[in-house]
Amino acid sequence: MKSMFKPLGAAAFAASIALATFPLAARADAASDALVSRGAYLAKAGDCIACHTAPRGKPMAGGLPMTTPLGAIYTTNITPDPDTGIGRYTEEDFARALREGVAKDGHNLYPAMPYPSYAKINDDDMHALYAYFMHGVTPVKQANREPGMKWPLNMRWPLKIWNAVFLDKGVYKEKTGKDVAWNRGAYLTQGLGHCGACHTPRGIAFQEKALDESGSAFLTGGVLDNWFGSNLTGDHNTGLGRWSEQEVATFLKTGANAHATAFGSMTSVINNSTQALNDTDIAAMARYLKSLPAAGGNGNPPYSYDPKATKVTLTRPAATDSGARVYAAFCMHCHGIDGRGFAPMLAPLAGNPNVLEKDASSLINVTLNGTEDLVIQGVPAPYPMPRYAPVLNDQQIADVVTFIRGSWNNGMPAVKVEDVAKMRKSTEAAR
């Protein structure tokens, strides 16, 4: 194979000199376009932009407030600006921030930054991500905001102890006996996708109770930021048990399928992240999710639709059921008399995994606050769920959600008016 050792042509030779001697910025255009665009793709898979961009702020310049059990903190500027961003980060610094939650100057990051998941990112992908953040992101001069919490809660040293207990170091290791697609799906789901940040219940120290399928709590659902991230295991009622692999893939790609329409914090995941992934990666994640055995659930017998169960009509609202009255007046024209909706634009409420979940946070929250538009390939959803906080009082919302929970054979218990009041209060600032 002589040709491999052929001397470089003059132009290539000049370019290689340039590569060797010019600073990174100049090098990027010549050699690493492909690397930078692979990094951009991975940054989508990691959904960095969702957290590191404030509403109406510049991309990746930080400033988004995040609520943690300790108080508000703000995401930081991760554009390559040398003074206020991460322009002075070496690749090593960058990898340490992502995998270990330690900033360049050595301070520990709060785990609102999902480094326990990003710890799994392999070296190749880390390299591409770094190239993208240094050369593919526009630098923005914008100083970081100090956390809103007061001493002693603002102390960062206890995070070292937290990391010692809860952080699993080491990048993702392929599981033998599983095929390529499963391993790719596991890598993306557990790592860059940080799906567990919202879908795995958290313990008393805010730690995710499991970081991969070896823990029984993994992806069984949990509350973060007033939304219940659904159970993604094979549970028949509350999980993905009734979904095919293809249906899971369609949901991640388009935010909707015959069973569900994305809402709450999942909307931003679909808008900014999963819809941009290629079909192979989406299929791999669907494959992996569908391999998770049933866990969690609501303890009821397997759901089946009963056409004879509750019917609501405008002319015959059950006079004694105020929930049915609210439903008929405000919800029925979209969600339907039979609770089956008009998939995929409108999620069915009958047998809906989120409706069958014990925790009703998402149902109360979406009724109060509606949802951000799902935007697929630039096109916003035609009939987004409206917000009813200004229209319905706490009792009416408790009644209508109770009605939905109890109708169409859903068989779930009533929602308390106190829970609606609490949700109204804690989502007030965002309204």
Annotated binding site for heme c: 48, 51-52, 195, 198-199, 331, 334-335
Shortest CB 382 distance to ligand HEC, Å: 8
Of the ranges 8-16, 75-83, 160-168, 414-422, which one interacts with ligand HEC (CB under 6 A)?
75-83
Angstrom distance (rounded) from CA 285 to CA 273: 13
Q: In this structure, which long-range contacts are made by residues 72-76, counting pairs with CB atoms below 8 Å and at least 24 apart in sequence?
A: 72/147, 72/148, 72/149, 73/110, 73/112, 73/147, 73/148, 73/149, 74/144, 74/145, 74/146, 74/147, 74/148, 75/51, 75/113, 76/52, 76/144
Q: Is 275 in the site for ligand HEC (CB under 6 A)?
A: no
CA-derived radius of gyration, the chain: 24
How many residues in the shown chain lie near ligand HEC by CB under 6 A? 74
Angstrom distance (rounded) from CA 153 to CA 213: 32
Nearer to ligand HEC among residue 16 and residue 278 (C-beta): 278
- Here the tokens at position 369 are 């606050």
Alpha helices in 158-207 (DSSP H): 158-166, 180-190, 196-199
Shortest CB 169 distance to ligand HEC, Å: 17
Of the ranges 8-16, 39-47, 162-170, 411-419, which one interacts with ligand HEC (CB under 6 A)?
39-47
- Check whether the bond before 152 is cis (ω within 30° of 0): yes
Which residues, numbered 140-159, are part of the site for ligand HEC (CB under 6 A)? none
Shortest CB 53 distance to ligand HEC, Å: 10
Of residues 162, 263, 303, 408, which one binds ligand HEC by CB under 6 A? 263
x-marked contacts with ligand HEC along 79-98 as a string, rule CB under 6 A: -------x-------x--xx
> Beta strands of 337-387 (E only): which ranges?
375-376, 379-380
Of residues 162, 187, 251, 303, which one binds ligand HEC by CB under 6 A? 251
* Interstrand relation of 379-380 and 71-74 (parallel, antiparallel or unpaired): unpaired
Nearer to ligand HEC among residue 15 and residue 411 (C-beta): 411
DSSP state of 275: G
Q: Is 266 in the site for ligand HEC (CB under 6 A)?
A: yes
Of residues 99, 184, 199, 290, which one binds ligand HEC by CB under 6 A? 199
Which residues, numbered 209-238, are part of the site for ligand HEC (CB under 6 A)? 227, 229-230, 232
Angstrom distance (rounded) from CA 303 to CA 350: 9
What contacts 136, CB < 8 A, 6 or more positions away? 36, 37, 39, 40
Q: Which segments are annotated as binding site?
A: 48, 51-52, 195, 198-199, 331, 334-335
Which residues, numbered 370-389, are part of the site for ligand HEC (CB under 6 A)? 371, 374, 381, 383-386, 388
Nearer to ligand HEC among residue 27 and residue 144 (C-beta): 144
First to last CA, the chain: 67
Nearer to ligand HEC among residue 15 and residue 345 (C-beta): 345
Nearer to ligand HEC among residue 32 and residue 79 (C-beta): 79
Which residues, numbered 400-419, are part of the site for ligand HEC (CB under 6 A)? 400, 404
What contacts 74, CB < 8 A, 6 or more positions away? 62, 63, 64, 65, 66, 144, 145, 146, 147, 148
Nearer to ligand HEC among residue 28 and residue 276 (C-beta): 276
Which residues, numbered 327-356, are part of the site for ligand HEC (CB under 6 A)? 330-331, 333-335, 346-347, 349, 352-355
Angstrom distance (rounded) from CA 345 to CA 257: 8
Task: Provide the 3-class DSSP secondary structure of residue 349.
Answer: coil
